[in-house]
Structure 1
């Protein structure tokens, strides 16, 4: 299996816009790597070398283990989405929880693991008071109806406070904002004061705030 690839160019004064990369092996297995970035030493990222995680493909339910590659939705096609996740200021520690999303749209459901998705190439995600950006390639979900969060941890920092999540369909420019304002405990399913999963519904917004 192919889990990640490295992409770079060495032209000193040139840029390269890459939408996505797809690899098909001799057994017709398909590996898709979403990117949707400009590779330019003078861009906001200021770099021309990146590591890209594999797009995990559609699943039917939120998993407890890393996703395995599944064939893409050939009939409805794929679309690129920009996801932004705002972590609260408290608790003042970086969580080691894994954050799963399941998005329900008019064309069906899709689940993704944000911790293995293509983030903004930062060393750490979900730090206190941080806004993280993820660029993903999902099936075309059409209008987004709801978002389900599942947080899991086997580490020593399972707590995570999520303020909100925004999803932008890059093809239609439709934006969805999900107000969460919830403290999650990814380790203790018996703790009824803290939750591990939550379903939220979008507000009507025209742009990211």
Structure 2
């Protein structure tokens, strides 16, 4: 690898398969002053049977600087093909730069409680929220000796810079009833600023203990935080409509968005009134515990489409926080969430009724049918207008059950927002890592 004034030694990419139509990933430790790279040399030793190799490209991502570079090759490294070279110098394709927020190294100490059965082998996922944004999912490395009863485990991770944190969401990515974990607390240290924060829990993440939840939100405490945000119980009333076949047995979920982040996707599992949930003309009440969101701005609600006749007619959702000055918020839907009704969407974003003087936007996104056009990244869309802009619209809102955008596929959704006026773009951003064919935005109310 070559930087502006420095070059690395030869780096051997061991354990790679380098098979046709495959992507091999490697982690290389190098000083941050290498990024951005000016060039890289790549080759092989020509050993083995059939050593010839057709290389498409090399992508180098440096989290500490937030710079991701693409170095095209589109050529053979073989002594019996093309120009017979087995080593090439690659230059960056400057039309494909991608700069994102740089990351910050953190130490994380996870303290499992000293209770009987407190340990777990499940996958633990963290999401850190700060006043400058939130992190992606942080999956703690799993090994047989981690997260045992009464144990402290240390991790070092790179997290995109979120500023001063205000909460941490902890979850188990495992619905196995046998997996329970009693978390005492998590401590974190920002290695760039040496600031330390503590997130107290003292509760079970379990399908069989406590309130049977495997998601907890923990407020941040530390020297820079004068008043930690409280943990609040949100009472969520879900009204199924009074239409034939309005009921559903699918798995329903909700994400609540406010001034201070969001709750993350929460399954609506345990109705306080009904053993069988989401039946025609019935009300189901759920409790969602989260760090205070302050003013609630919108919700995303939907289901996974499972079961016979999974279509669901949702009348409205009402949300009120317990013991807080923020009043109840109503989200009127009065539409189907069904693959065979209305616009065939099973996920909808709703804004509060008092803000419902809005315009309907129907969006279709098509991915071109070329090799590796698809992506499993966290995609979003933002629409810019003369009068206003939307928030970032996460594309998991689209009618897409596998949450990935695939080659040759068209995905669509319907959104309601205030009138944006004439739609354009802000001239900012970077080229996405997927081959986008087209986006259509239809405004039927205009």
TM class, shorter-length: 0.5 to 0.7
1:94-173 equivalences under 5 Å are 94-116=247-269, 118-120=270-272, 122-173=274-325
Alpha-carbon distance change, 27 to 115 in structure 1, aligned in 2, over 3 angstroms: farther
Residue number in structure 2 paired with 1:178: 331
CA distance in 1, matches of 2:274, 2:240: 15
Which 4+ residue blocks in structure 1 deviate beyond 6 angstroms? none
Contact residue 91 and residue 159 of structure 1 kept, 8 A: no
Residue number in structure 1 paired with 2:123: none
What SS does the corresponding residue of 2:268 show, helix, strand or coil? helix
The Cα offsets for residues 106-151 of structure 1, whole Å up to 9 and x where unpaired, read as 01111243432x4205211101000111122111100001111122
- Gap runs ≥5 in structure 1: 2-24, 34-49, 59-71
1:55-70 equivalences under 5 Å are 56-57=215-216
- Quote the RMSD (CA, aligned, Å): 3.2
Q: Which protein has greater RCO, CA pairs closer than 8 Å, 6+ apart?
A: 1
Residue number in structure 1 paired with 2:212: 53
**Residue 87 of structure 1 pairs with residue 211 of structure 2:** no
Contact residue 317 and residue 331 of structure 2 kept, 8 A: yes
Pick from 351, 354, 357: which aligns with 1:201? Answer: 351
Larger strand fraction of residues = 1
Alpha-carbon distance change, 168 to 192 in structure 1, aligned in 2, over 3 angstroms: closer
The Cα offsets for residues 2-46 of structure 1, whole Å up to 9 and x where unpaired, read as xxxxxxxxxxxxxxxxxxxxxxx534753458xxxxxxxxxxxxx
Alpha-carbon distance change, 93 to 146 in structure 1, aligned in 2, over 3 angstroms: closer
Residue number in structure 2 paired with 1:73: 219
**Residue 26 of structure 1 pairs with residue 150 of structure 2:** yes
Contact residue 55 and residue 137 of structure 1 kept, 8 A: no
What TM-score, normalized to structure 1?
Answer: 0.61
